Structures are given as C-alpha cells and as structure tokens.
Amino acid sequence: MLKLVIGSKNYSSWSLRPWLALAHHDVTFEEVFVPLDQPDTRARILEYSPAGKVPILIDGDAKVWESIAILAHLGERFPEFDLWPKEFPARAHARSISCEMHSGFSHLRRHCPMNLRRRKKTALTPEVEADVTRVTEIWNDARKQHGTGGDFLFGAFSAADCMYAPVATRIRSYEIPVDAVSAAYVDAIYALPAFRKWYDAAMNEKWRHAATDAIA
Ligand SMILES: N[C@@H](CCC(=O)N[C@@H](CS)C(=O)NCC(=O)O)C(=O)O
C-alpha cells in the first residue's frame, strides 16, 4: 500500500498537496503523521527521506520527496486519473504554473503561512501584494484559457489545483482581497470533498504552532 508521510494538517501546506491528489481519487494509502517542530521531528523524517522534509511518498521500493515530484510520480502511477491535464497546451501550462508555485511566492508564503484555523485580516507588504497579484493572474489565465469544463484551473481538478490549494487557503485565512474569478476559485477549493476532509481533521488537531498563531 502507498504510504504518505505528512506533517500537521492545520499548518503543513506542502503535505496537503499530494494528500489532496490521493484523497480526491479515493486512493487507499497509509498516512504517517510526524508532528513538526518537535525535538525529534528531524530524526523521524530522516527515517523516510534524506531531505528531512515532508511530504514523502513511499511506493514500494520507490521513495519520492518534494511535493511537485510526488505529483509527477502520481501522474505516471495512475494515468487513468488525468492528474495532469491530458492535452498538451493545457498540460504544459499546468506544469509551468505548478513549478512556478513550487519555486516561488516566498513573500506570501513567509508572511502568511498556512493556518487553516485562522480567519483574520493582516497587513500586506508590497512584496506580498506583488505575489498575490501574480497568483491571481495565474488563476485568471488558467480559468479563462482552460477552465470552462469545471470549477478548477483546468476545468476538472488537477495537480495544478493540488499545488495552489494551500495558496487559496491563505487568501481566506488572511482575508486577502481578490477579484471575483479568484474568489470563486478559492470557494471551489473549500467545497472540494477531499479538501473538506483535510480541513475537518485540521480543525480537530490539538497541536499548535505558537509563532504562526501569533501573526497579527
Ligand atoms: N520543497 C518541499 C518543501 C517541504 C517542506 O518545507 N516541508 C516542511 C513542512 S510544510 C517540513 O518538512 N518542515 C520540517 C522541518 O523543516 O523540520 C516540497 O515541495 O515538498
């Protein structure tokens, strides 16, 4: 059985990405929870991956780390899911914006870390605003060019949505104003049954990360 090693459901944005792909497609997998920021966190993660970060997918003899690599692996492992859009222009676009997310938006990620329990506005720096502008541009472009068949970036739910779901949660948690298309996209993520499962589990999580909760 596949095994996915993850961190906190309330705070671990990278863990959410591959988890959503598996849960949305009803794949049976074992979930291994490693509490973050504990004295033994690093040692516990190193049991699974030399990179020392979650998420990690164990698929038989294959070990995959880095969220984007896990989504690439799952796309090949389960071709029937069309996790990445089937047609070339859309697939190329989905890969590009997914990689852009994986390597970017550091200001938004640092200033507004994922915290699903939070619902409070925060002041944004110009750098964070620039990240939000680019994110919403990406969402508008994908929805306009490829999204007519459904509520997600490429119509049907795809790996690109896995990459952007944690970004969508920041828009809601920090009450960041966005245009109507982006707001509807955030709503679509929150309405996705697999996301609801993760969100409900996050609400029941006891562990707290004081520094993230303390953000004004
Ligand atoms: N680039 C990595 C980022 C993974 C990452 O930063 N994970 C955090 C949790 S969200 C982590 O493992 N932190 C534990 C630590 O640094 O001790 C990915 O895409 O998977």
pLDDT tens digits, 7-39: 999 999 999 999 999 999 999 999 999 999 899
For range 196-202, the mean pLDDT = 98
Task: Give the ligand 1 atom nearest the CA of 11.
Answer: 10
What CA–CA distance (Å, rounded) separates 4 from 129? Answer: 33
Phi, psi of 153 (to 5 degrees): -60, -40
What separation in Å is there between the alpha carbon of 52 and the centre of ligand 1? 8
Distances (CA, A) of 46 to 26, 51, 140: 28, 7, 39
pLDDT at 84: 98
Residue nearest to atom 14 of ligand 1 (CA): 53
pLDDT tens digits, 48-105: 999 999 999 999 999 999 999 999 999 999 999 999 999 999 999 999 999 999 999 9
State the pTM of this model.
0.97
Q: Residue 176 is which amino acid?
A: I
Residue nearest to atom 16 of ligand 1 (CA): 53
Burial bucket for residue 23 (CB in 10 Å: 0-12, 13-18, 19+): buried
For residue 213, give both structure tokens. 């909760």
Report all structural domains of the chain as residue ranges with CATH numbers, in order of start.
2-81 (3.40.30.10), 88-198 (1.20.1050.10)
Q: What 8-state DSSP symbol labels residue 103?
A: H
Distances (CA, A) of 26 to 7, 20, 159, 193: 20, 10, 15, 11
